Amino acid sequence: MIPIGSIVNALAIIGGSLIGCWLQSRFPERIRAIVFQGLGLCVLLIGIQMALKVENILIVIFSILLGGITGELARLDTLFERLGNRFKKIIGSKNAKFTDGLITASLIYCIGAMAIIGALEEGIRGDTTVLLTKSILDGFASVALAASYGSGVLFSFIPVLIYQGAMTFGAGYFQQYFSELMISQVTACGGLLIIGIAINLLELKEIKLANLLPALGYVVVLTLCFG
């Protein structure tokens, strides 16, 4: 089965990012600054909406704490930075925000109910409606993100394609684990990470989001065990 929905989603991200990169070079610095701040406020709202879907707050709290400790011990931020810089060197980009844009966009596009439900719906029923709707939303988001971060956002189509495509191919297997409770818990945990993105965008505090990524694995395991 070809994951049509994920492919369309990836193409929408590429198209939106190209438009955003084109706009970025035409924005004066003061316009880029206000776009960055406006984007931060919008991302904050998205994160809050997602976080409020929590069903068991204790599981999410422990997932964030355990994930942060694991990520810090593994130095995931350093690892992702090295990988991002290596990839940046391969494609010859000189964008200082390349890695930040790649990680930020990947988190926003991959975390949430639409990515999970859409991939499962396509894999089980062949229904691409949710992913096509997500593609429209991600395409518009890519314009704003790429106008702020630059070319790194464009390459977020790679983790989106891999993540959603794998979910579509393994839909029959994953379905048994992704109950409504599980989707709510993963979405809520992801919402907290997206709030962290907003805090970084607004320059309120630098949060090492890469080191918090293991929280998404912990929330799945803890929800399976105690949910």
Give per-residue pLDDT as tens, 78-128: 888 888 888 888 888 888 888 888 888 998 899 877 898 899 899 988 999
Tell me the C-alpha distance between 101 and 148, whole Å.
Answer: 8
The residue-averaged pLDDT of 155-170 equals 93
The residue-averaged pLDDT of 185-191 equals 91
The model's pTM is 0.84
Is 154 strand, coil or helix? helix
pLDDT band at 211 (very low <50, low <70, confident <90, very high): very high
What pLDDT does 174 receive?
Answer: 81
What pLDDT does 5 receive?
Answer: 94
Q: Count how many Cα atoms sit within 13 Å of the Cα of residue 82 in the half-sphere of its side chain.
A: 5
What pLDDT does 2 receive?
Answer: 86
pLDDT band at 157 (very low <50, low <70, confident <90, very high): very high
Q: Count how many Cα atoms sit within 13 Å of the Cα of residue 28 in the half-sphere of its side chain.
A: 1
Instruction: Measure Cα distances from 101 to 17, 112, 162, 184, 200 in Å.
Output: 11, 18, 18, 26, 12
What pLDDT does 92 receive?
Answer: 81
The residue-averaged pLDDT of 162-178 equals 88
Please, which contacts does 30-39 make with residues 24 or more away whose CB atoms are closer than 8 Å? 32/147, 32/148, 35/144, 35/147, 35/148, 36/148, 36/201, 37/201, 37/202, 39/144, 39/145, 39/148, 39/201
Nearest to 189 by CA among 61, 87, 6: 61
